[in-house]
Amino acid sequence: MNTPMPYRRSGCSGILLPEISLGLWHNFGRNDSRETCRDIIARALELGICHFDLADNYGPPPGSAESRMGDLLSQEFRHHRDEMFLSTKAGHLMWPGPYGDWGSRKHLLAGLDQSLRRLKVDYVDVFYSHRPDPQTPLEETMGALVHAVRSGKALYVGLSKYPPELFHRACAILREEKVPCLLHQFRYNLLDRSCEKGILPALTEEHTGAIVFSPLAQGMLTGKYLSESGDVPVLPADSRAARQDSVFLTPEQVQKQTRLVRSLNILAREAGMPLTQLALRWLLRKPEITSVLIGARTVKQIEECARAAGCPPLPADLLEAIDALSGGE
Ligand code: NDP
């Protein structure tokens, strides 16, 4: 294990995030084992993974990941609150009617209040606008984030999935209010490099930290779906693609990526490391990535992912071989 966990600074701020952070989008819902959730959080803390990422709609059902975390925080980890860096988000569908979704001031601030109640905390460390709202004025959505900080319910604010131009405008509004955008969440992994020519350079310009989600492409980049031979994937029981309660990774998506994943897996084997390590270390090669936000269903998974932190850079010839397969910058 490469301990201690290295921490990276987010832009020009006091935020220091572990190279590997833990997201609770899956595996912390109502039907997941409380004991396993507790063991994952406890092991994460031991490994120096102090950042836990939530959103109001994580579960399933929506809200249940925050309720589970709130239960664990109040029952088991109360004394660790100041060591933890907790984030939540609002902006996806949560309740019926015109204020249950998107980016109005009403939705964001009601959503934050609900999150605080479920999490049983007085404040979160970061509050995000979970996605841009094409209908609500940007000034209103950013105004809600500013209010969250001024009212003491969030210490910092962030954005998620904003395209570059909108992101720059949002940053300008927030800067004017002296509540800078310090983190931006977006997808980045070996199967999806679209951010390299889009949001990533914009973040550098704005001095905003980058926290990247689905670094293992929801598990595809662990090689777990590869069969011994042929391009027909296997679906291990309990895996995300096999679970009925997860609609975000389908067997069809897995099938589509099998050939590329197989080639990357061969590269990883030749380099003497598991594909999971290659995928995470490849992201950490970039100093502008503040943290890589993984999901974990078991303690073993989080231990394996944490091993990618603090490793030496991948050699140049390996990076070139990866570019040749997955499309360079
Ligand atoms: P990953 O790409 O890390 O996928 C996590 C899944 O990969 C796990 O649930 C597990 O799946 C599998 N896995 C992880 N480690 C291992 C391992 N060592 N060996 C084998 N399998 C492993 O990330 P997610 O897609 O879960 O996203 C991470 C976080 O990013 C979310 O929890 C959330 O906080 C954030 N996010 C934010 C979004 C946004 O809109 N802002 C959107 C999406 C995510 P299995 O169950 O198959 O074992």
- 258-317 per-position pLDDT tens digit: 999 999 999 999 999 999 999 999 999 999 999 999 999 999 999 999 999 999 999 999
Ligand 1 proximity of 24 Cβ (cutoff 6 Å)? yes
Do residues 234 and 212 lie in contact, with contact meaning Cβ atoms separated by under 8 Å?
no
pLDDT range class, residue 233, cuts 50, 70, 90: confident
Q: Residue 179: CA atoms inside 13 Å, Cβ hemisphere, count? A: 24
CA angle, 209 then 214 then 217, to 5° = 140
Q: What is the C-alpha to C-alpha distance for residues 3 and 60, in angstroms, rounded to an integer?
A: 33
**Strand 209-213 and strand 289-294: pairing?**
parallel
Q: Which helix (H) or strand (E) holds 224?
A: none
The pTM score is 0.97
One-letter amino acid for residue 144 of the chain: A
Residue whose pair of structure tokens reads 């979704």 in the numeric block: 101
Q: Which helix (H) or strand (E) holds 18?
A: strand 16-18
pLDDT range class, residue 200, cuts 50, 70, 90: very high
CATH class of 7-219+275-316: alpha beta
Q: Where are the domains of the chain?
A: 7-219+275-316
* Residue 217 alpha carbon to ligand 1 centre in Å: 7
Which numbered atom of ligand 1 lies nearest the CA of 128?
A: 41
Ligand 1 proximity of 27 Cβ (cutoff 6 Å)? yes
Give per-residue pLDDT as tens, 13-26. 999 999 999 999 99
Q: What is the C-alpha to C-alpha distance for residues 116 and 100, in angstroms, rounded to an integer?
A: 17
Which stretches of 62-208 are assigned E, i.e. beta strand? 85-90, 124-129, 154-160, 181-187
Assess whether pLDDT exceeds 90 at residue 245. no
Residue in 93, 292, 297 to alter for ligand 1 test, most ligand atoms within 8 A of Cβ: 297
Ligand 1 proximity of 296 Cβ (cutoff 6 Å)? yes
The number of beta carbons lying within 10 Å of the beta carbon of residue 22 is 25
What value does the mean pLDDT take over residues 114-119? 98
Residue 32 carries which DSSP code?
Answer: S
